[in-house]
Structure 1
């Protein structure tokens, strides 16, 4: 069975399942269904990250575009938000070849309409169109028109609105690794006055996950910051739509806290976040409205669109992984920063550093001033979907929920739009949800201290495992 599957943002799977015909077929299905109905011109911009397999897959996508009657523009390696920006500028569709933060043996495709990311309905249309592609197409090599200035336009987007001294005096380490934004990050920070040192460049792919940090990444960041040379360290995941920022002590700042700082910096009145974001959005944000959605950028984008329709003036969205979506035009330094409703790493990095400098505090001091609490998460691997589903269904029922939570308290509020999120007393939350692309049950917790949050996750997973075992034993 193929590993290819649409997840929270795009199609992903093993490289061995994607190269060749599968990537051609999915691209053709996109062009035959979404692209021809989205009001786009017959042009598609194609970009890629720095994985070994990405260049070849991008060439296959270009061949599929030609077969469908589209002119392919090869933007080369560049951040996903830079490619999305180029598609918006041209009024064309876009295809980004990237596996984001997942390991080198996997890759994926992110599809964009001329107005932004595809929707969940578009994903269904692509899957429905796959059958029409199975017996057609030559898959020949088709040269794409090169385009080298999309990266520079993305850089100018931020350089032209932030003050030239916005980061003056700040000493920033850029952990370059294999991020496709490793050079543009250096250029952006230096153009705003920061003293930048590039470290850790890698010619082999490094799977940086900005939400579930690997022990080796945590160790690298702490070691890099241990000398006291830098005020902050910044980097991104592979395709630069998720940021990672560490403070002067080498502590990685949560992605939703980066989003909170950025939203406040932009004076947003409405923020749209998934249910996995911390409750500091409501408690400490100072926003007129906080909208919570299911996990995944398509749901956040839909929530932003609805908020704008409801009359919100400046709408932003962000996820627990730090990816920031600008749903409305915003004012920065008296200049207009145009909306970019797709996940972006550059804006939260620049806004967080600028807010730090403007506050007169260290980055750690700025984060502490938010009183955002602490979070933790973990998972139960190899948990069949039917077991997770049955447990979550039970947890949604008051009688079972009260009995389940008795050792730790009672639920003050319940959100069931993506799993079951429980608000407990003492500023605590406990959230269970099934993974969308793996057989596992995930648990997220929030508390006043990191020890409390970690203890809550450990209890939650143990209690969930016991409940699922008991339910399985009770079945005939």
Structure 2
């Protein structure tokens, strides 16, 4: 199913360059509004954003498009992506929109959609929106003058999300006595995350909470954890929590300043929920990028690992189709469907904190569930074309697979959000792994 505008996680690109331009955002608002204008009642859409400078531009264009389509617009301001998904349901909206490029630098931006159920849109719905964006006469299906939508900023929604997040922590658990560093990446959770942790009893040391439109994810957050680790050492914290720009992913630092990725977090939650009979299926869902060590660990405790394509939307789709309530990605997208319809970095961190308090052990012990199989990921930037179709690249991949045999695996794919070829390999033989990945990455660079 070919799509022009939508990638693996909404529409994304560099601000003021196609497709993240005001004129396209206007058409996206009109097209999505028409698609979700069903029935005779007053329709509504909620719009949240992170802290990027370009968020103002995209927000105003979307508001114009939605009101032209006849939808009332509730403007939330800076809010985490999972909060937008939750509020779409809570406010009985027909559609939710998050303006964010997640973990990307400030110059990028994106538009993510949630349906009235709080889940991301299906491929079919995105194709229909694209059809209307490119329609010759979209104006013919817009609202008449007397049915234009209204737009307003609404207060109190931040408190709604904070109370929701706090309720996910078991009532018999308090964070009192815990020293917690929280890095909000100068992003969407810069207000809500530190307040939630403090209200639950923790002593909170916030960093990455001074957004200026340009510093989102810059040398901070879940994709740049040095600042988090330094702060953990500095204040002798029990744990460090790093969110990304829109707070739908989380990476943890233990009390020693060592990083705990999404695979270890999923292992902790899976075993804890298994012990408490909270798993709705005998296993969890992750992507092809998750470490082989996680799969072996789960098998050892009687659970399965179901793998999907890269992207939290595919994880969620598999969870819904097969009855799983725990899933996620190595990068820190953790989806706990008992609570949320998408990845929620703050809620996932709270579940880990609950396990730490339950076992009364340091984070380094609680999160050391398995020894990862040596894994290498190399990102190779390219300037167009299809490097993976190159004969030399395909030959390098085939040779690498033959050399590794049954002791490892390769995952080579194009990023859905950036012009990168991601070359990932795992192998029990670390030296062989390094040689194979370097060879394939070199072939991709030569072809890029």
TM-score if structure 2 supplies the norm length?
A: 0.84
Task: Identify the residue that residue 24 of structure 2 maps to in structure 1.
Answer: 22
Distance 1:363 1:39, change over 3 A: farther
Distance 1:142 1:271, change over 3 A: same
Question: 2 CA distance for matches of 1:76 and 1:123?
Answer: 24
Question: 1 CA distance for matches of 2:211 and 2:220?
Answer: 23
Task: Identify the residue that residue 220 of structure 1 maps to in structure 2.
Answer: 227
Task: Identify the residue that residue 304 of structure 2 maps to in structure 1.
Answer: 289
Question: 2 CA distance for matches of 1:83 and 1:395?
Answer: 45
C-alpha distance after superposition, 1:415-441 (max 9, x if no partner):
xxxxxxxxxx2xx43322222344432
Q: Say if 2:135 is the partner of 1:125.
A: no
Distance 1:234 1:458, change over 3 A: farther
Q: Say if 2:291 is the partner of 1:278.
A: yes
Residue 218 (structure 1) shift: 3.6
Contact 1:392 1:432 in 2 (8 A): no
Larger mean CA deviation between 372-381 and 243-252 belongs to: 372-381
Distance 1:463 1:378, change over 3 A: closer
Task: Identify the residue that residue 254 of structure 1 maps to in structure 2.
Answer: 261
Residue 12 (structure 1) shift: 0.6
Distance 1:26 1:391, change over 3 A: farther
Contact 1:5 1:437 in 2 (8 A): no
Match among 191, 208, 211 for residue 217 of structure 2: 208
Question: 2 CA distance for matches of 1:166 and 1:76?
Answer: 30
Contact 2:241 2:253 in 1 (8 A): yes
Unaligned runs of 5+ in 1: 309-313, 330-337, 413-424
Q: Say if 2:386 is the partner of 1:386.
A: yes
Contact 1:48 1:98 in 2 (8 A): yes
Distance 1:37 1:358, change over 3 A: same
Q: Say if 2:349 is the partner of 1:319.
A: no
Q: Say if 2:157 is the partner of 1:150.
A: yes
Residue 86 (structure 1) shift: 0.9
Question: 2 CA distance for matches of 1:179 and 1:56?
Answer: 17
Residue 251 (structure 1) shift: 2.1
Question: 2 CA distance for matches of 1:287 and 1:364?
Answer: 24
3-state SS, counterpart of residue 239 of structure 1: coil
Residue 303 (structure 1) shift: 0.7
Question: 2 CA distance for matches of 1:258 and 1:289?
Answer: 16
Task: Identify the residue that residue 335 of structure 1 maps to in structure 2.
Answer: none
Contact 1:164 1:193 in 2 (8 A): no
3-state SS, counterpart of residue 181 of structure 1: coil
**Counterparts in 2 of 1:1-80, with a 5 A limit?**
5-17=5-17, 18-33=20-35, 35-36=36-37, 42-80=43-81
Question: 2 CA distance for matches of 1:367 and 1:209?
Answer: 27
3-state SS, counterpart of residue 271 of structure 1: strand
Contact 2:45 2:72 in 1 (8 A): yes
Distance 1:200 1:61, change over 3 A: closer
C-alpha distance after superposition, 1:373-423 (max 9, x if no partner):
453311222275533135699579xxx83x4445x431x3xxxxxxxxxxx
Contact 1:304 1:315 in 2 (8 A): yes
Question: 1 CA distance for matches of 2:31 and 2:150?
Answer: 20
C-alpha distance after superposition, 1:209-262 (max 9, x if no partner):
999976xx3432232223352111113111111112211222221122223323
Question: 2 CA distance for matches of 1:363 and 1:112?
Answer: 34
Unaligned runs of 5+ in 2: none
Contact 2:266 2:328 in 1 (8 A): yes
Distance 1:438 1:323, change over 3 A: closer
C-alpha distance after superposition, 1:158-192 (max 9, x if no partner):
32242364323211012234121122111221222
Aligned residues: 425
Contact 2:356 2:363 in 1 (8 A): yes
C-alpha distance after superposition, 1:251-301 (max 9, x if no partner):
221122223323333332331211111223422233643221111122112
Residue 319 (structure 1) shift: 1.5
Task: Identify the residue that residue 110 of structure 1 maps to in structure 2.
Answer: 112
3-state SS, counterpart of residue 178 of structure 1: coil
Distance 1:199 1:302, change over 3 A: closer
Task: Identify the residue that residue 90 of structure 1 maps to in structure 2.
Answer: 91
C-alpha distance after superposition, 1:128-157 (max 9, x if no partner):
11123766489x998622222222222112
Contact 1:57 1:97 in 2 (8 A): yes
3-state SS, counterpart of residue 364 of structure 2: helix
Contact 1:38 1:114 in 2 (8 A): no
Distance 1:467 1:44, change over 3 A: closer
Task: Identify the residue that residue 196 of structure 1 maps to in structure 2.
Answer: 204
Larger mean CA deviation between 37-46 and 64-73 belongs to: 37-46
Larger mean CA deviation between 456-465 and 348-357 belongs to: 456-465
Larger mean CA deviation between 245-254 and 430-439 belongs to: 430-439
Distance 1:361 1:106, change over 3 A: same
3-state SS, counterpart of residue 367 of structure 2: helix
TM-score if structure 1 supplies the norm length?
A: 0.79
3-state SS, counterpart of residue 378 of structure 1: strand
Contact 2:217 2:245 in 1 (8 A): yes
